[in-house]
Chains A and B, each alone.
Chain A
């Protein structure tokens, strides 16, 4: 009995929170999945996969939207010297048309997507932890409206071992 009630608790509470929200009050969420310390060797460039998730029912422009007016998703990272970010590789967007413009396709990310950062460690880099931090800039829409552009923080640590 006790266990049954406790098992039901999360569902009951979730239902209450959902019912407290009214249509149009949802704010698009884009989240960064924390990355554990990235192991790297001096003199080697390591590809780091950074995982993001766009909340359900929302999409954001890809890094290469089909119009220059649309705001591209862009990651800016600053590394701690002597480590550096040599390149960023964005996934291709998914071409999707939406009810508001059935004849037009937009290049978007939705659900889960990953950006790969090529982290370069010089041969003479001392062993240690080197934080890399920055932000993902994006602009989200749902199927009928758009939200202003915003940014979320992105941070991970590169652990250099000899």
Chain B
């Protein structure tokens, strides 16, 4: 009986230890795949400078005052392909309201192949060539597609991981467009020097 008691205590201790280590591992995991769990809403979007398919250097801060739909994708990602016609439609539908769709291609493929694919898909928005740094700055983007919605003040209003519905896209676009343009866009100025997204404990 005494032995059973000791076994029971050992079991309880093991459970407490595993819960603690499980939480620790969960937090550790977030530091590597923060995109998947972190709530970015209200945070300043990190600025970046990437090369577009036509060879231009493009900064996020070039679009100050605009609402941004930042879509990470790749040519090898079938779900990403599903979203692209929607993104084309959104650029047409909301472009005059101030929406800019920016695609960030996370391929290792060379630019001409990406360009050919984008052309076939009828893409009407800038495609930028992604880098490890932009992926890391945006919370280590692992899942594709991943979309970030950035308001006119340069703050995140939402994020979508994996294929989401067209309605979810449009709801987030509306949120991004709804923000008022700040006079000098101080938040975007801040965004230009902001630090990469840090892990957030709260789920979105």
Contacts and interface: CB of A to CB of B under 8 A. Distances in A.
Given A13-B18, A146-B77, A100 B163 contact: yes
Interface stretch (B20-28, B58-66, B187-195): B20-28
Interface residues of B, number: 39
Given A25-B29, A25-B33, A146 B14 contact: no
A148 B106 contact: yes
A146 B18 contact: no
Contact of A69 (B11, B36, B76): B76
Given A106-B78, A146-B80, A13 B144 contact: no
A125 interface: no
Contact of A19 (B22, B78, B143, B163): B22
A100 to B, nearest CB: 4
Interface stretch (A29-37, A87-95, A113-121, A137-145): A137-145
A27 B33 CA distance: 10
Interface string B121-158: 00000000000000000000011111000000000000
B37 A145 contact: no
Contacts of A12: 11, 15
Contact of A24 (B22, B36, B74): B36
Interface of B: 3-4, 7-8, 11, 14-15, 18-19, 22-23, 25-26, 29-30, 33, 36-37, 74-82, 106, 108, 117, 142-146, 161-163, 203
9 interchain residue pairs of minimum CB distance? A20-B22, A144-B162, A145-B162, A24-B36, A146-B77, A100-B163, A145-B143, A100-B79, A1-B4
